[in-house]
Structure 1
Amino acid sequence: MHAVVWSNNCLTLLNQTLLPAKVEYIDCYDWQRAAEAIKRLEVRGAPAIGAAAAFALVLGARAIAGLTMPEFRQKLADTAEALQQTRPTAVNLFWAINRMMSVLQKLPEQADTLAAIAALEQQALAIAQEDKAVNEKMAVHGAKLFTSPVSVLTHCNAGALATVAIGTALGVIHEAWSQGNITRVFADETRPLLQGARLTAWELMQAGIPVTLITDNMAGWVMKNNMVQAVIVGADRIALNGDVANKIGTYSVAVLAKEHGIPFYVAAPTSTFDFTIHSGADIPIEERCATEVTSLGGNCVAPQGVEVFNPAFDVTPHPLVTAIITEFGILRAPYNQAISQLSKQCE
């Protein structure tokens, strides 16, 4: 089951807001519907968002094929800017859009809009295909961290639903489980939108991997009772010093892991690293609507008019991170040196 599919000039997205109760796909024939899907979290997960935005730009380009090349460039730049406004934290979105727009800059002077559209489509397909390869490499590298059977805890969803392939953190879990070195996964429910309960638990059950669902506030007690021996999560943006932005609640899990002497691993492709910012203090944190907190399953569970603070992400400081798993291998502290070297490998 794929979260992002491109076929016959249509971007098809698995509607993750309906899972696990209903499996429904959204066909996007214009970039506006794709942008809406990103904003609504119908497609989510940093790598999947990046791929969806790349194909959305292809849709946007096809809609303006009749313009002159200068007009085409300007209109597509406007579309790119609109897509960037959909989710401010996940850096893969900006990485994919910038990579797509660089295609236009590399076209020969005499190129027309049809040539530009073809080049844009090839780039979007390359982004999707590369994500698959990157997922597989991360899984292999990450599995090396697990040399004997353990139970692990994860937060939010960093699986196939969040990428174009097998996932980041869940990709590692799949590989280590196949080798007999992960015996069970404890999945935080991940309030307020329950990605852990709705998506991660569902994915793992589909794969036949033993999973136990817990509420977010049970993680500490599970660790205290030695029910998990490691934590592995994904990421939405990683700064040069190794600070990690991920789904809200990740920071709390990292603090608890540190207190209990449990390794805290992050799995993320290089497209999730932001080589332009020095620390997590520079990462913009998206805040979402109050109803996500005051309602559950469409039912109001809080007093009418109560004030709500609803950040979608938090930042885990790098001293709490044991290692970062990438397609190039395992990064360890000092992260500023390791990530600086990683940036050179990506040039």
Structure 2
Amino acid sequence: MLPEPLLWTEEGLSLLDQRRLPLAVERCLCRTVEEVARAIEVMVVRGAPAIGVAAAYGMALAARERRSLPEASARLGATRPTAVNLFWALARMEKASAGEGDPFARLLAEAKAIHEEDIASNRSLGRHGQSLLPRKATVVTHCNAGALATAGYGTALGILRAAVEAGKLVTVFADETRPRLQGSLLTAWELLQDGFDVTVIADGMSGALMRSRPVDAVIVGADRIAANGDTANKIGTYNLALVAARHNVPFYVAAPLSTVDVSLLSGEAIPIEERDGEELRFAGGERLLPVEFPVWNPAFDVTPAELISAIVTETGVLRPPFGSALRAALSGEAFPKKGV
């Protein structure tokens, strides 16, 4: 059974340290908002929904410390600029801070609500998404969009879990996801814990895989979705989308509606985080490249909407044209209740 990725305790926020997986299962206790911010920056916790939940608890800790809440929000917002769930959660916490009574109790209750809602959202998303898969399915995924990237259950991997719960047979190929190897270190470990048939492949192997055997779908997560459906996800996702298009394999994005940023008209406006080049110069603690070798290390890339077959949200499966579909979903009009 997977350990809880995020867990509130009387001492503070306990995070499963994803830097240690899969060789060691260790936890990191954050007692202050600064410790939460650092945990997000160094990727103790990662994945857009999980970052949002962690930041919410960080705001509660700031209230307990009697820190300036605007300053705490600014500090947390500077940690990972691409993940829009972070800013969604911070905005919600800032709104909650305006009430009466003990600010810590109020913000802690709101953080716990965000935590619980994320799990429920993922389960709903999974149920909708599993309908896209045949009874026997081979799926390629990239990075980690599972329980470890969320409050629990997962988005892309949540679809796979829901498919298995529905009695389907699912085989998974997990891109290793250079340079931090979230696919091989996290996705493979997470799925093996749950008994999945999962095989790790290098990022450059997906084309050969799709050419040599039937693949039913590519399913990935998202860190930000623009108003037109362009999607930012872990670096290498765009390459995978191009390969899927070449081989006529459906390419699905799984993300909660909190990932949608309608203020950005297209993916061209999505801010892309660039990380330290040492992540590419090292692998497994061993230096691969001298420090003087120039390195470009964007953490994310943008997949154009025309390469995406569907976007799966907690409210249902959205099809192109994504602009109108996303607007309808956000307004609650895309999937009206029966009888309405």
Are the equivalent residues in 2 in contact too, given 1:34–1:52 (CA < 8 A)? yes
- Select the residue among 83, 94, 98 that pairs with 1:90: 83
In structure 1, what residue type is equivalent to 2:165?
Answer: S
Are the equivalent residues in 2 in contact too, given 1:173–1:182 (CA < 8 A)? no
Segments of 5+ residues of structure 2 without an aligned counterpart are: 334-340
Are the equivalent residues in 2 in contact too, given 1:152–1:182 (CA < 8 A)? no
Report what 1:69 is aligned to: none
Q: Does residue 25 of structure 1 match 2:38? A: no
What's the offset of the Cα at 1:148? 2.8
Structure 1 pair 304–78 and aligned structure 2 pair: CA distance change class (3 A): closer
Matches of 1:178 and 1:119 in 2, distance apart?
A: 36
In structure 2, what residue type is equivalent to 1:299?
Answer: E
In structure 2, what residue type is equivalent to 1:43?
Answer: V
| Other structure's SS at 2:173 match | strand
Matches of 1:79 and 1:178 in 2, distance apart?
A: 41
Matches of 2:165 and 2:109 in 1, distance apart?
A: 34
| Other structure's SS at 2:92 match | helix
- Select the residue among 112, 119, 131 that pairs with 1:144: 131
Report what 2:212 is aligned to: 225
Q: Does residue 76 of structure 1 match 2:77? A: no
**Could you report, residue by residue, the CA deviation over 1:194-214 in whole angstroms, capped at 9, with x for unpaired residues?**
000000000111000100110
What's the offset of the Cα at 1:312? 0.2
**Could you report, residue by residue, the CA deviation over 1:96-135 in whole angstroms, capped at 9, with x for unpaired residues?**
0000001123x2xxx35xx222111111010001001101
Matches of 1:24 and 1:294 in 2, distance apart?
A: 26
What's the offset of the Cα at 1:9? 4.5
- Select the residue among 53, 56, 62 that pairs with 1:54: 56
Report what 1:309 is aligned to: 296
| Other structure's SS at 1:276 match | coil
Are the equivalent residues in 2 in contact too, given 1:275–1:343 (CA < 8 A)? no
Report what 1:43 is aligned to: 45
| Other structure's SS at 2:97 match | helix
Matches of 1:226 and 1:322 in 2, distance apart?
A: 20
Structure 1 pair 255–229 and aligned structure 2 pair: CA distance change class (3 A): same
Q: Does residue 103 of structure 1 match 2:127? A: no
Segments of 5+ residues of structure 1 without an aligned counterpart are: 65-71
Are the equivalent residues in 2 in contact too, given 1:146–1:182 (CA < 8 A)? no
Matches of 1:335 and 1:88 in 2, distance apart?
A: 24
Matches within 5 A, 1:187-226: 187-226=174-213
| Other structure's SS at 1:287 match | coil
In structure 2, what residue type is equivalent to 1:260?
Answer: H
Report sequence identity in percent.
49
Report what 1:168 is aligned to: 155
Matches within 5 A, 1:329-344: 329-344=316-331
**Could you report, residue by residue, the CA deviation over 1:241-286 in whole angstroms, capped at 9, with x for unpaired residues?**
0001000000000000001000000110011111211110110000
In structure 1, what residue type is equivalent to 2:286?
Answer: N
In structure 2, what residue type is equivalent to 1:15?
Answer: D
Report what 1:294 is aligned to: 281
Matches of 1:135 and 1:196 in 2, distance apart?
A: 19
What's the offset of the Cα at 1:178? 3.1
Between 159-168 and 220-229, report the one with greater CA deviation.
220-229
| Other structure's SS at 1:186 match | strand
**Could you report, residue by residue, the CA deviation over 1:314-334 in whole angstroms, capped at 9, with x for unpaired residues?**
000000000011000000000
Matches of 1:33 and 1:186 in 2, distance apart?
A: 35
In structure 2, what residue type is equivalent to 1:92?
Answer: N
In structure 1, what residue type is equivalent to 2:190?
Answer: E
| Other structure's SS at 1:245 match | strand
What's the offset of the Cα at 1:147? 2.9
Matches of 2:165 and 2:200 in 1, distance apart?
A: 21
Are the equivalent residues in 1 in contact too, given 2:121–2:314 (CA < 8 A)? yes
**What is the RMSD computed on CA atoms of the aligned residues?**
1.2
In structure 2, what residue type is equivalent to 1:11?
Answer: L
Matches of 1:311 and 1:325 in 2, distance apart?
A: 25
Matches of 2:183 and 2:331 in 1, distance apart?
A: 34
Are the equivalent residues in 2 in contact too, given 1:234–1:246 (CA < 8 A)? yes
Report what 1:67 is aligned to: none
**Could you report, residue by residue, the CA deviation over 1:289-330 in whole angstroms, capped at 9, with x for unpaired residues?**
011001111111124411000000000000000001100000
- Select the residue among 268, 272, 276 that pairs with 1:281: 268
In structure 2, what residue type is equivalent to 1:283?
Answer: I
Matches of 1:183 and 1:225 in 2, distance apart?
A: 18
What's the offset of the Cα at 1:227? 4.1
Matches of 2:199 and 2:152 in 1, distance apart?
A: 23
| Other structure's SS at 2:58 match | helix
